Amino acid sequence: MKEESTDPIRVIIADDHVLYRAGVKTSLSTRKDIKVIAEADNGMHLLNLIRNIETDVILLDIQMPIMDGIATLPELKKIAPHTKVIMLTMVEDNSMITKLMELGANSYLSKTSDIEIIYEAIKTCYEQDYYFNSLTNKALLTNLKQRNMPAPHQLVSQEAQLSEKETTILRLMCEEKSTKEIADLVELSPRTVEAIRDKLKVKTGSKTTAGLIMYAVKHKIIEEL
């Protein structure tokens, strides 16, 4: 989790529709904790920009000319691995969402999302790495159901031994609670919750928060996301 900072979150909007970029930029300009520092109209333009501009979060449209968002994402992660990327699209495609999350996307939003959702996604990705919503949750769950699940005896042998507190925190993470909200609910400090989250990653063999969510579904810690 990021330390408290007075500096605004630096955002780049990459979308080939000028009016969409202008609308999002204007709406975000009312937020003192976010600053749109640049715009790009295709993936190639974006990659050239981020080589010279330090950025915190990128809003990346999937469908763009010259170089689309799907081709841009892996290159973007090579150049700026710590920059958070929120994919934008007009299409709900579960396999595409899962693929993009595996390639390093930090969230996936419909372009029809209102500015409150976009703002929340930017803040959450910046502070907690991922922003999960109904699109991402449904895609991850569908993907897991479509894969060949291990037999029950295999499932038991692969399942990590989690304490009641660890299981509770994992469930709350799956409910999209922030670290502070979880800390308040389980009566622990935010720092302790972060330590338990890191321990959960080690125990479950998950590298990311997305991996923890998938583990929780696979091992029926939660039935539905």
The CATH code of the domain that includes 152 is 1.10.10.10
Percent of the chain with pLDDT over 90: 45
Which comes out higher in pLDDT, residue 190 or 13? 13
120 and 24, same structural domain?
yes
Q: Which domain holds residue 34?
A: 9-134
Same structural domain for residues 122 and 178?
no
Instruction: Name the domain count of the chain.
Output: 2
**What is the rounded distance in angstroms from the CA atom of residue 97 to the CA atom of residue 127?**
21
For residue 203, the SS3 value is helix
Q: Which pLDDT score, from 0 to 100, does residue 38 have? A: 97
Q: How far apart are CA 102 and CA 41, in angstroms?
A: 24
Amino acid, single-letter form, for residue 202:
V
CA 14 to the chain's CA centroid: 17
**Within a domain: 154:** yes
Asked if 78 and 104 touch (Cβ cutoff 8 Å), the reply is no
203 and 106 in a common domain: no
Q: What Rg do the C-alpha atoms of the chain give, in angstroms?
A: 18
Quote the CA–CA distance of 60 and 109 in Å, as a whole number.
10
Give the pLDDT confidence score for residue 52 in this predicted structure: 92
Identify the band that residue 156 occupies on the pLDDT scale cut at 50, 70 and 90. very low
Q: What is the pLDDT of residues 19-31, one digit of tens each?
A: 999 999 999 999 9
**114-129 per-position pLDDT tens digit:** 999 999 999 999 988 8
Taking alpha carbons only, the member of 111, 136, 133, 104 closest to residue 121 is: 133
Structure tokens at 143: 């993907």
Start-to-end C-alpha separation, the chain: 23
Whether residue 168 is found in the same domain as residue 96 = no
pLDDT reading at 224 higher than 70: no
For residue 83, the model assigns a pLDDT of 96
Which of 105, 134, 163 is the C-terminal boundary of a domain? 134
Rounded Cα distance between 45 and 48, Å, is 5
- For tokens 């150049």, the residue is 79
Looking at the structure, do residues 109 and 14 belong to the same domain, yes or no?
A: yes
Q: Name the more confident of 157 and 210.
A: 210
Give the residue carrying structure tokens 């990459």: 14
Structural domain includes residue 87: yes
Most confident range (mean pLDDT) of 41-45, 127-131, 163-167 is 41-45
Could you tell me if 130 and 212 lie in one domain? Answer: no
- pTM: predicted TM-score of the whole model, two decimal places: 0.65
Total number of residues shown for the chain: 225
Please state which of the ranges 48-62, 76-90, 202-216 shows the lowest mean pLDDT.
202-216
